[in-house]
Every structure is written in structure tokens, then in C-alpha cells.
């Protein structure tokens, strides 16, 4: 073989490798690139988009979806799905609203007004309980995750409707003389100029990232999501991991419900409708595989911001709500397609 042929083959191989690296970079960083494009386009279309105050407002909207998406990421990493998070969010808001309105004890003839910290703890515990029901149904009773979480979705939404009789709890600010003020702190207060909801999202994201990357539970989660049978044979407590991720997903949904109710200073039984789909979309756009075992908190947060900034940008430039749904759906389909390309290439290359 001549020297010229060897040089030509090396140059072709180098070019193919360079193209492969570029494609991999685009696939793995697609959520980041999409976010940059969204910001650039809407900043050009509207002078009100690229302002610090608008970014903070949009971030406070993203906080709701982002908190839900963190819990959903854990479930999807485990190879499952949780369709009940939207209903859990609505139920958590109704529970909080019910307690803020006063709990009547007819037997004792008194009305209790629990402090806000107690409302928060009880509401988060309720969300965790809903998640535990999902986990037990899936891990021990072998009910498919889709069916189990779909059933819990209807149960949670039905309980919220029964509690409120289809009505909304309004004026959740509380009264000083009753000692139950401060519920609106989550929704309206800022710390260092940053909305509290965004800070809550950041704290949860950091904690989740550390858990996934630095703890045995994180390794168990990736292992059980990648190959549950192999993980079980390796000594991973597969059933316990499965229950814990659903409990954490329910708790995240309850926290999101508290933040949303605080922002609105009201709680209704229909709150959070279809939010589970938005949470799944954020996780998928962030690069997680729906088959489990692949995904990061960083990618999920970028996915949540892509959806939030896109939706708010369409509102700012006056696009119809119907078209907003179309655009969001197109982004989700494109993200799933890119996921298939990315992980399909990995399977072939391995």
C-alpha cells in the first residue's frame, strides 16, 4: 500500500471522527443550545424579554415544573413513570388550603389554625404517602408503573374534588391574630432579589445532583434503571430503591403544590392538570432515556427552562395559547427523536 493511500485513509478517518464528535456535542448539549436559541429569538422579537425582571418572573414559573421534573427524573432513571404528580400537586394545595382555612374539631367545639411550618410538613408528608402508594403497588404488587400511577392520578384528583366540593380555597394569606400568616412567603418573597421558589428549586437540584453522583443510592438507582435483573443479582435493594424514588417524586409534587398555591394565594382541585406531561417533557428534553438508567439533574433543569422560557416567550409576543401547545408538542417530539438517535448510536457503537 502506497504512502498516499495511507494518508488519504487517515484523513478520511479523522474527518469522520470529527463529524462524529460534532454530532455527539449537538446531541448531548441540545437542551443548552435550544435554550440559547430561544432566548436569542425572543429577545429579538420583543424588547421586554431580555430583562432581568422578566427572567426572574419566568424563573419563578419554571420553578413549579422544575421541582416536579426533579422527582420525575428519579422515577424515569429507575425505568418507571409517575403520571400522578399533577394530581398530587393539586391535592397538596387543597390540603394546605384546608388547613389554612382552619380545622374544625366538632367534638371539642374548637377550630385549629396550624402554623405555616406545620402545614408545610403535613403537606409534604401527604405527598410522600401518595408516592409510597405508587411504590408499593409497583414494587411489591407488580402493577405496571403506567397503570398504577394512572389509577393514583384519578384517586388523588377525586379526593381533592371531594374535599373542596369542586370549589377553590381563596385568601390563604392567614391572619395575624390567628398566628397562621406567612403562607404567601414562598410565592412572593425574594432573597437577594431571587424568588423563593427559584431558591427552593436550586436547593432541591443541588441536593439531588449530589445524591445521584456521590452516594450509594445514586449508584443503585442508575444500576437498577439500566438493568434491574443484573442489579438485583448484584445485591442492589431494587424494591427499596423503587419505593424511595416514588416517595421522593410525591414529596416533590407536594412542594410544587405549596409553591404554586403560595404564588396564587389560592388552591383549587384542578390545579396541576397535565403538569405531569410537562415534567416528563422536561426530563426528556434534558436528555434522559425513558427506558431508565440515563439522565442528569443538569439536563433536566435545562429542559424545564427550555419549556418555561418558550411558553412565556410565546405569551410575551402575543401568540395564541393554541399555538403554544403546538410549539411545545413539536419541541417534545424533536427531543424524543434526538434521544432515539443519541442512544441508538451508543447501542450500535457498543
SS3 of the chain: CCHHHHHHHHHHHHHHHHHHHHHHHHHHCHHHHHHHHHHHHHHHHCCCCCCHHHHHHHHHHHHHHHHHHHHHHHHHHCCCCCCCHHHHHHHHHHHHHHHHCCEEECCCCEEECCCHHHHHHHHHHHHHHHHHHHHHHHHCCCCCHHHHHHHHHHHHHHHHHHHHCCCCECCCCCCHHHCCCCCCHHHHCEECCEEHHHHHHHHHHHHHHHHHHHCHHHHHHHHHHHCHHHHHHCCCCHHHHHHHHHHHHHHHHHHHHHHHHHHHCCECCCCCCCHHHHHHHHHHHCCCCCCCCCCCHHHHHHHHHHHHHHHHHHHHCCCCHHHHHHHHHHHHHHHHHHHHHHHHHHHHHC
Per-residue pLDDT tens digits for 236-251 = 899 999 999 999 999 9
Tell me if the pTM is above 0.75: yes
Q: Which CATH class is domain 35-341?
A: mainly alpha
* Out of 134-148, 164-178, 289-303, least confident range: 164-178
Of 349 and 145, more confident: 145
Give the residue with greater pLDDT, 347 vs 293.
293
Amino acid at each position: 500500500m502506497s504512502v498516499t493511500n495511507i494518508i488519504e485513509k487517515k484523513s478520511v478517518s479523522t474527518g469522520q471522527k470529527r463529524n462524529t464528535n460534532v454530532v455527539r456535542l449537538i446531541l448531548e448539549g441540545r437542551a443548552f443550545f435550544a435554550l440559547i436559541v430561544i432566548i436569542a429569538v425572543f429577545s429579538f422579537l420583543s424588547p421586554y424579554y431580555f430583562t432581568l425582571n422578566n427572567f426572574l418572573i419566568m424563573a419563578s414559573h419554571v420553578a413549579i415544573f422544575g421541582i416536579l421534573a426533579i422527582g420525575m427524573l428519579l422515577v424515569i432513571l429507575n425505568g418507571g413513570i409517575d403520571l400522578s404528580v399533577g394530581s398530587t400537586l393539586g391535592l397538596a394545595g387543597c390540603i394546605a388550603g384546608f388547613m389554612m382555612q382552619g380545622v374544625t374539631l366538632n367534638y371539642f367545639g374548637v377550630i385549629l389554625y396550624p402554623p405555616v411550618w406545620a402545614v408545610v410538613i403535613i403537606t409534604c408528608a401527604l405527598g410522600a404517602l401518595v408516592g409510597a402508594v405508587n411504590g408499593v403497588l409497583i414494587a411489591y404488587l407488580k402493577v405496571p408503573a403506567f397503570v398504577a400511577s394512572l389509577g393514583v392520578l384519578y384517586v388523588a384528583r377525586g379526593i381533592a374534588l371531594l374535599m373542596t366540593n369542586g370549589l377553590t380555597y381563596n385568601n390563604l394569606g392567614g391572619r395575624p391574630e390567628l398566628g397562621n400568616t406567612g403562607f404567601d412567603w414562598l410565592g412572593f418573597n425574594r432573597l437577594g432579589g431571587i424568588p423563593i421558589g427559584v431558591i427552593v428549586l436550586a436547593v432541591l437540584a443541588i441536593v439531588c445532583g449530589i445524591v445521584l453522583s456521590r452516594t450509594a443510592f445514586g449508584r443503585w438507582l442508575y444500576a437498577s434503571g439500566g438493568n434491574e435483573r443484573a442489579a438485583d443479582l448484584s445485591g442492589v435493594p431494587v424494591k427499596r430503591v423503587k419505593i424511595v424514588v416514588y416517595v421522593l417524586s410525591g414529596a416533590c409534587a407536594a412542594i410544587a403544590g405549596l409553591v404554586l398555591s403560595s404564588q396564587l394565594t389560592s388552591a383549587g382541585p384542578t390545579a396541576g392538570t397535565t403538569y405531569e406531561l410537562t415534567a416528563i417533557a422536561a426530563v426528556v428534553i434534558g436528555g434522559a432515556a425513558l427506558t431508565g438508567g440515563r439522565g442528569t439533574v443538569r439536563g433536566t433543569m435545562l429542559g424545564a427552562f427550555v419549556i418555561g422560557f418558550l411558553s412565556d416567550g410565546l405569551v410575551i409576543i402575543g401568540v395564541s395559547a393554541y399555538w403554544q401547545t403546538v410549539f411545545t408538542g413539536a419541541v417534545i417530539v424533536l427531543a424524543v427523536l434526538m434521544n432515539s438517535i443519541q442512544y441508538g448510536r451508543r447501542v450500535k457503537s457498543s
